Chain A
Amino acid sequence: MSSLEIIIFIPFLAALAIWMGAPARLTAVVASTVNLLWVLVLAVRFPAFKSATDLAFVNKHMVLDNPAIAFAVGADGVSMIMALLTVLVTFAAVWQIVDKPSMYHIASLLISGGALGAFLCTDLFFIYAFHEVALIPTFLMIGIHGRAEKDQRLAVAWKTTIYLGAGSLVLLAGLVWAVIEFSGGGKLTFDLVALRAQAATSPLPATAQAPLFFLLLVGFGTLVSLFPFHSWAAPAYATAPTPVAMLHSGVLKKFGLYGLFRIALPLLPAGAQVPWVQQSLLIMLLGNILVVGLVTLHQKRLDDMLANSSVMHMGYLFLGLAAGTEIAVKGSILLMFAHGISIALLFAICGRMRNQLGTLEMAKLGGIGSHAPFLTVVFAFGAFASIGLPGLANFAGEVMIFMGAFANGNSSSTFIPAQGLTSLHWTVILALWGVVISAVYMLRGYRAIFQGTPQTGLFMSDPGSGQWLPLVLLAAVLLAVGCFPSLLLDLIQAPLAPVATP
């Protein structure tokens, strides 16, 4: 039995134990702490265990022979990073649940276990299956414990369910198509390693790759709130209970991008570069950055603003995908991690403010900094990270994406002005304005809430009794990765895929 299998099953077993009556908070915290430490150890030892195929901790149990489906686990650098993100956010999310029904703990653990399964399996069937498992508690929690009037939260829950349900079915069709294309002449196989080997030795012609890549882009993209399939995300995060908002926006949503980088791009490296696919991807991601960015500017409530900003920042990640160069792809993976940590931090604080203040209208708030200096500082970490301030993790990712995308020379990172500007370059130029937009709304929100004179009747205290721990942890991770991005980047030394040369 591989360590990875145990890591995947710990949250599920803990959830089962709580359902059977174990003390909810204790069980959940212990399970998530064990997982956090274990994944940290594995990440440290990962380079030593890596095999020739860049997978470590591999194990496999056959489920079906034809088509070959196996419960196969294995971690490469990318999945290691995603697993780290998952256990960090899970720890923070579970830790901050206090005085809630045990369903909060169960749902958080199920989402965490599903995400770990999706990131650590190497069989398409189980990758897909675990992600779906994680979606169910998300829907239920939004519908039952969401923070709005009943009709409204049900509407949000259904919108999320149907968008994500339809998206994942499109995805299933795409995955099945990929399985049929890349299984070679013999038996069908869902083994990602075998499929990638087949794609590397006998790739499809680029024109044939394009429609399949586009189908996967729509399927995975819906899960990541790619414009124009994004409208479920902002209300869902604004309505979801805090741990669910943290886990879904921070971790589970990244599954779509993870799938694009780990499944779609390696199998169909040329598909992403076919002009019509690339052009439509560029338009869609500009929709995320600029359209949703402008929408975010106009939000009056903190939770709406954070939810929309989370959708907006997905655009940068897609930019890395569209560029397809090694630097851009690595930058995207780094930014996935950084964005997950920063948005989880912000949602955690936002949830606390909602509990204490009863309102999140920015116009009604102000001067919280004088009551709660600690929260003010930690929020600043999250906010500045998501703007892309150097020294915090997001900056490194964004810079790598922009640089990787702005290349047209022979090497994947040189830019030769004499060759003119392609549509990718124009997209980068436009996307850079997104940084300005996020600076505007984040700083404006920060000033409105934390600075100025305190409003009468509103009081907010700093977290006591250990509640500061998850916040400090997340902020420290942002700082550490921001100063030493190589901590993570070293894990993904091996090339991710047959990388595109522009």
Chain B
Amino acid sequence: MSVFNLEALLALLGLFVLLLEAFVPSVSSKALAGICMTGVAGVLVLLVTVAGGQEALPAFVGAYHQLDSLAMFYKAFALVITFFVLWLTLEASPYLNKFSLDGKLGEMFSLPLFVCVGMMWMASAKDLVTVFVSLELVTVSFYVLVAYTRKSALALEAGVKYLILGALSTGVLVFGVAWVYGATGSLSFEGITNAVQGGEGNKTALLFGVSFLLAGLGFKVAAVPFQMWVPDVYQGASTPTTVFLSVGSKAAGFVVLTRVIEALTVSGSMVREEVITVLSIAGAVTVVVGSLPALFQTNVKRLLAYSSISHAGFLLLALAARDSVRVDLSPGGTVAFYLATYLPMTVLGFAALIQMRLNGRGEELDDFKGLAQKSPSLALLVTLAFASLAGLPLTAGFFGKMWVILGLVDQQLWFALACAVIGAAAGFYYYFRVILAMFTPEESTEPFRMGVLARAVCMVLGLTIAVLGVYPKPLQTLLAKVPVAGTSASGH
């Protein structure tokens, strides 16, 4: 079976679950989640087992679908994060139920599958049309997901904001795509690469188009100045959806950005300098602007939203350091590595928020007080997750940050380096506030309960963070095959 069929399989599963939910009202959340999670895990297994079958693509698909190692990585990434989102939705269902219209969470299990299909398709996109179509599949599903817990006013607000800004950014993106097509005469990344390398076409028109293209993608990955929607939407959406936005949607944006930037900054490209400048400035500003408001947040969910912006900045900086770093990772590989470390720590952080809600606590900083007394194991795991988010050594998050800093020093992007240092230092403050709160003793004696499954999954996530923090070699080896920017195009 070709890898290419996996998306179709997953989409069919999504449709099946959608119909099942509509026509069999008695089906429980647990059953739905079970079906979806089994399906996603099954597809992941298939993906891993058929990973070698790149050449099996039929010609008509191969024209717009590629299966390089980057694509395979992001497909697996999409499946993993979808699996965790489904699990989180199941975990959160006891309290999320109350906020949906019919008291059930039916579509919250099928929609993530469609998002996943979109992300997987996007990972393989070879041209901007495929990118656009799959991006829309992702975004439209998210419109529904964000506003699904409709009885909560915050979720409604989030839904409206996400819809309006998402639609706007789509418009901007299409406008950019049209201009890029006009300037280069091509919609495929390969064609664009050849055009910018050959210096054909009008540079001004191309830059104009590229700026809109980057703005549109900037919305998706929450880069400054297109990050305004993030705090409200992240806070308002149900926590599983927030995780999905924060990890899945970001990864989807970055796989496209990786492809676009690699095409535009290929060696000899006429817009290389401009694109790198824009990326490094946008990344630097995003890190700082994302970090500084986080200093004043008392709501942990909102704090994580700002943290997500700051991480997007680091990812942009990873892309900005082109052709640098005599490590085995290309800029695109660095981004993938960073995202792979970002996944467990973000999921673990938000999973803790869900456990707080299940125990009748809120998402404020004060609610975390005394957690170390009541649930030492969860407190330890959350400490690990937040230390990793802050980029402390011996946790997974450190390596991502270190590759970025290594790249910036190597490329002598001093302004960006200074901003990265400021942002990371600010991170010490706001992540440690949560850790400090957890270890602050509290009088209350209410017990803190956690299910066995939740405990086990959190433990696995924590272990992943710790192991990647001291032994990142397997992940790096996996990503090292990603072709270095510039050679990927000339190899065709």
In this assembly, does B375 line the interface, its C-beta being within 8 Å of a C-beta of chain A? Answer: no
In the assembled complex, the Cα of A366 lies from the Cα of B171 at a distance in Å of 78
In the assembled complex, the Cα of A166 lies from the Cα of B429 at a distance in Å of 10
Q: Contact flags (1/0) for A119-144 with B, using CB distance below 8 Å?
A: 00000010011101100100110011
CB <8 Å contact, B421 and A144: no
CB <8 Å contact, B429 and A170: no
Shortest distance in angstroms between A259's beta carbon and chain B's nearest beta carbon? 14
- Total contacts A to B, CB within 8 angstroms? 90
B417 / chain A contacts, CB cutoff of 8 Å: 173
In this assembly, does B13 line the interface, its C-beta being within 8 Å of a C-beta of chain A? Answer: no
Contact of B476 among A64, A157, A179, A180 (CB under 8 A): A64
In the assembled complex, the Cα of A125 lies from the Cα of B469 at a distance in Å of 11
- Say yes or no: A158-B429 contact (C-beta < 8 A), given A65-B473, A180-B406: yes
CB <8 Å contact, B421 and A166: yes
In this assembly, does B63 line the interface, its C-beta being within 8 Å of a C-beta of chain A? Answer: no
B472 / chain A contacts, CB cutoff of 8 Å: 63-64
In this assembly, does B99 line the interface, its C-beta being within 8 Å of a C-beta of chain A? Answer: no
CB <8 Å contact, B439 and A144: yes
In this assembly, does A422 line the interface, its C-beta being within 8 Å of a C-beta of chain B? Answer: no
CB <8 Å contact, B421 and A173: yes
Contact of B421 among A67, A169, A187, A188 (CB under 8 A): A169
CB <8 Å contact, B327 and A139: no
Shortest distance in angstroms between B417's beta carbon and chain A's nearest beta carbon? 6
In this assembly, does B394 line the interface, its C-beta being within 8 Å of a C-beta of chain A? Answer: yes
CB <8 Å contact, A183 and B432: no
In this assembly, does B398 line the interface, its C-beta being within 8 Å of a C-beta of chain A? Answer: yes
B376 / chain A contacts, CB cutoff of 8 Å: 19
A148 / chain B contacts, CB cutoff of 8 Å: none
- Say yes or no: A129-B428 contact (C-beta < 8 A), given A19-B380, A66-B327, A180-B409: no
Shortest distance in angstroms between A52's beta carbon and chain B's nearest beta carbon? 29
CB <8 Å contact, B436 and A173: no
CB <8 Å contact, A169 and B409: no
A484 / chain B contacts, CB cutoff of 8 Å: none
B492 / chain A contacts, CB cutoff of 8 Å: none
In the assembled complex, the Cα of A5 lies from the Cα of B205 at a distance in Å of 61
CB <8 Å contact, B393 and A132: yes
Interface size class of A (residues with CB under 8 A): 35 or more
- Consensus secondary structure, chain A interface: helix
B488 / chain A contacts, CB cutoff of 8 Å: none
CB <8 Å contact, A176 and B402: yes
CB <8 Å contact, B425 and A144: no
In this assembly, does B441 line the interface, its C-beta being within 8 Å of a C-beta of chain A? Answer: yes
B325 / chain A contacts, CB cutoff of 8 Å: 188
In the assembled complex, the Cα of A62 lies from the Cα of B402 at a distance in Å of 18
In the assembled complex, the Cα of A319 lies from the Cα of B249 at a distance in Å of 54
Contact of A139 among B326, B406, B436 (CB under 8 A): B436
- Say yes or no: A103-B425 contact (C-beta < 8 A), given A66-B326, A176-B402, A176-B406: no
Q: Contact flags (1/0) for A146-159 with B, using CB distance below 8 Å?
A: 00000000100110
In the assembled complex, the Cα of A430 lies from the Cα of B259 at a distance in Å of 61
CB <8 Å contact, A144 and B436: yes
In the assembled complex, the Cα of A139 lies from the Cα of B472 at a distance in Å of 27
Q: Contact flags (1/0) for B424-457 with A, using CB distance below 8 Å?
A: 1110110010011001110000000000000000
Q: Contact flags (1/0) for B220-242 with A, using CB distance below 8 Å?
A: 00000000000000000000000
- Which residues of chain B from 19 to 75 have any CB-CB distance to chain A below 8 Å in the complex? none
CB <8 Å contact, A172 and B402: yes
In this assembly, does A498 line the interface, its C-beta being within 8 Å of a C-beta of chain B? Answer: no
In the assembled complex, the Cα of A89 lies from the Cα of B425 at a distance in Å of 30
Most buried by B among A103, A161, A172, A188: A172
In this assembly, does A426 line the interface, its C-beta being within 8 Å of a C-beta of chain B? Answer: no
In this assembly, does A165 line the interface, its C-beta being within 8 Å of a C-beta of chain B? Answer: yes
In the assembled complex, the Cα of A157 lies from the Cα of B432 at a distance in Å of 10
- Which residues of chain B from 115 to 138 have any CB-CB distance to chain A below 8 Å in the complex? none
In the assembled complex, the Cα of A181 lies from the Cα of B325 at a distance in Å of 12
Contact of B428 among A71, A103, A161, A179 (CB under 8 A): A161
CB <8 Å contact, A133 and B393: yes
Residue of A nearest to B417 (CB): A173
A169 / chain B contacts, CB cutoff of 8 Å: 421, 424-425
In this assembly, does A177 line the interface, its C-beta being within 8 Å of a C-beta of chain B? Answer: yes
In this assembly, does A436 line the interface, its C-beta being within 8 Å of a C-beta of chain B? Answer: no
- Say yes or no: A103-B393 contact (C-beta < 8 A), given A161-B428, A180-B409, A188-B327: no
Q: Would you give 19 A-B contacts (Cβ < 8 Å), ordered by A?
A: A19-B380, A129-B393, A130-B393, A132-B392, A132-B394, A136-B392, A144-B436, A158-B429, A162-B426, A162-B428, A166-B422, A169-B424, A172-B405, A173-B405, A173-B421, A176-B402, A180-B410, A188-B327, A188-B406
A-to-B contact residues, CB < 8 Å: 19, 62-67, 71, 103, 125, 128-130, 132-133, 136, 139-140, 143-144, 154, 157-158, 161-162, 165-166, 169-170, 172-173, 176-177, 179-180, 183, 186-188
Q: Add 5 more A-B contacts to A19-B376, A63-B473 (CB < 8 A).
A: A133-B392, A158-B429, A173-B405, A176-B405, A176-B409
A-B complex: 5 closest residue pairs judged by Cβ atoms? A129-B393, A165-B428, A166-B425, A169-B421, A165-B425
